[in-house]
Structure 1
């Protein structure tokens, strides 16, 4: 049984800006796995940090934890226009992931936010909550143990799903459903269909494609992810997700690219490469778990 003191020690590692960012990420994911009000409180304290990447992951983890104690924290982040758009977007997505319909009004309000990524995210979160109410059940945890911003489509034909994914006249919610259905179907054809989505016009959509490809960990999409990361005209929000996906895939061909862009002019990109290199090392090493905050405490004792 984990003690309050151990949770607090991991929390202090998370909020300590002197610590290397990969170590703080590992502390964050340890808190996510531990759960509970104390873990939520420590994660909430870190939203004053200067790293947009870290704050983005804080919001993501709070959504994945699905603890209603996180709702006030996430609402404050969504409402705070001094926070970076990618942080506010993730706060909106997290509110949808928690699944409490009480946040519908706030999400509807920010569905008209002037920042398009925030507006589109809140629109998706509203549709997710409405879908839950209409269907009277949760779509369940994905095969990748994630709470997704849209339930997967029932369709399993890769060709049909690809058509929906790439059809920009379709509602974004339906295209997200096709995205997660393709991920769940899996296989090389599904991976390549998803990689084609990196050419779509919505930065939010391309960002999510990068995330999904990272979950699938198939090296077939390394060229497309690398091209997006290298593109000087691509949104930093998308480039960051592609970097993290390359770290998760952890194919040897990813290493040189991640090292090169760890010096990128965009802070969120170079920090993502730093974290991705740590993930690459984990995936190719013999460490027991990535969320090793408790193990680090034991080692330092």
Structure 2
């Protein structure tokens, strides 16, 4: 049983800018796992932080929790043009992930936002909510990943066909995302390489999602492509950040070298992502039972 005092202690770790970023991330993912109004309140408080990376992850976690009590803060973040585009985009995606149709009108409103990543995200979230309404009452097939995705996987199972859909920039973004998540669920080298080709497509939002999905897939074949995207200084920071985190999740020696190489990148969100990814690498290659270890850290006897 988790006490209110323990939730508060983890929450204080999250909102404390004096704590190492990787410790704050672990606290965040601990709160995500715990859920409930207390966790939502603590996560919401951290949107005043100056780290775009942290705020992006706050929004992501609130969406994954699928608790409608998080809707008001996410709407506030989406509306706040002082927030970084990658934070506003993640708030829009989170509103779609929660799945409550009450946010359809606000998402439609921001589907024409002047920031293209925000507009595209809200368009996808609208399509997801409409898809959910059209398929309400139908059993939802649970794939191998526990994430709430911005689009359901396509039913097509042929990797070649899915690759064509994924890379066809004339197709609706929602359909290309459906191909993306189907390829992820199929897995294997051929699917990983097809996904990696998407790192050269036109939309920065699309490329960033490819980076995220390759991190979930954790296939070594994607490493050279992720390293190349991370190394491109002209690439969007939100894409480079996802590629760094994917390398941390894949956790091969070549990944470690790349993350160390960009840990001092001039772009803050990239170097912070490398810092968090190096912590993820340590978790993936170490004996720890779980990454979200905020409670374990609290309950550990003093050394």
**For each residue in 1:33-92, what CA deviation from the matched residue of structure 2 results, as whole angstroms up to 9, or x when unmatched?**
000010001000000000000000000000000001000010000000000000000000
CA displacement at 1:299 relative to structure 2: 2.2
Provide the C-alpha distance between the structure 1 equivalents of 2:67 and 2:274, rounded to a whole number of angstroms. 29
Provide the C-alpha distance between the structure 2 equivalents of 1:142 and 1:13, rounded to a whole number of angstroms. 33
**For each residue in 1:103-161, what CA deviation from the matched residue of structure 2 results, as whole angstroms up to 9, or x when unmatched?**
00000000000000000000000000000001114745441100000000000000000
- 1:287 maps to which residue? 288
Unmatched 5+ stretches in structure 1: none
1:18 aligns with 2:18: yes
Provide the C-alpha distance between the structure 1 equivalents of 2:211 and 2:190, rounded to a whole number of angstroms. 16
List structure 1 segments (4+ residues) > 2 angstroms apart after TM superposition. 137-142
Please show how residues 115-130 of structure 1 align to structure 2 within 5 Å.
115-130=115-130
- 2:245 maps to which residue? 244
Give 3-state SS (helix, strand or coil) of 2:150's partner.
Answer: coil
Give 3-state SS (helix, strand or coil) of 1:289's partner.
Answer: coil
Change (3 A) 1:70 1:228: same
Provide the C-alpha distance between the structure 1 equivalents of 2:141 and 2:13, rounded to a whole number of angstroms. 32
Provide the C-alpha distance between the structure 2 equivalents of 1:300 and 1:81, rounded to a whole number of angstroms. 44
- 2:81 maps to which residue? 81
- 1:211 maps to which residue? 212
CA displacement at 1:240 relative to structure 2: 0.2
- 2:4 maps to which residue? 4
Provide the C-alpha distance between the structure 2 equivalents of 1:173 and 1:22, rounded to a whole number of angstroms. 33
Give 3-state SS (helix, strand or coil) of 1:229's partner.
Answer: helix
Please show how residues 140-155 of structure 1 align to structure 2 within 5 Å.
141-155=142-156
CA RMSD of aligned residues (A): 0.9
- 2:65 maps to which residue? 65
Does the CA-based 8 Å contact 1:247-1:254 persist in structure 2? yes
Does the CA-based 8 Å contact 1:89-1:121 persist in structure 2? yes
CA displacement at 1:233 relative to structure 2: 1.0
Provide the C-alpha distance between the structure 2 equivalents of 1:194 and 1:219, rounded to a whole number of angstroms. 13
- 2:42 maps to which residue? 42
1:110 aligns with 2:141: no
Does the CA-based 8 Å contact 1:142-1:148 persist in structure 2? no
Change (3 A) 1:88 1:115: same
Provide the C-alpha distance between the structure 2 equivalents of 1:66 and 1:43, rounded to a whole number of angstroms. 14
Change (3 A) 1:300 1:275: farther
Moved more, 129-138 or 164-173: 129-138
Give 3-state SS (helix, strand or coil) of 1:111's partner.
Answer: helix
CA displacement at 1:300 relative to structure 2: 6.0
Unmatched 5+ stretches in structure 2: none
- 1:234 maps to which residue? 235
Give 3-state SS (helix, strand or coil) of 1:209's partner.
Answer: helix
- Normalized against structure 1, the TM-score is what? 0.99
Change (3 A) 1:207 1:138: farther
Provide the C-alpha distance between the structure 2 equivalents of 1:257 and 1:101, rounded to a whole number of angstroms. 42
Provide the C-alpha distance between the structure 2 equivalents of 1:261 and 1:178, rounded to a whole number of angstroms. 31
- 1:170 maps to which residue? 171
Give 3-state SS (helix, strand or coil) of 1:146's partner.
Answer: coil
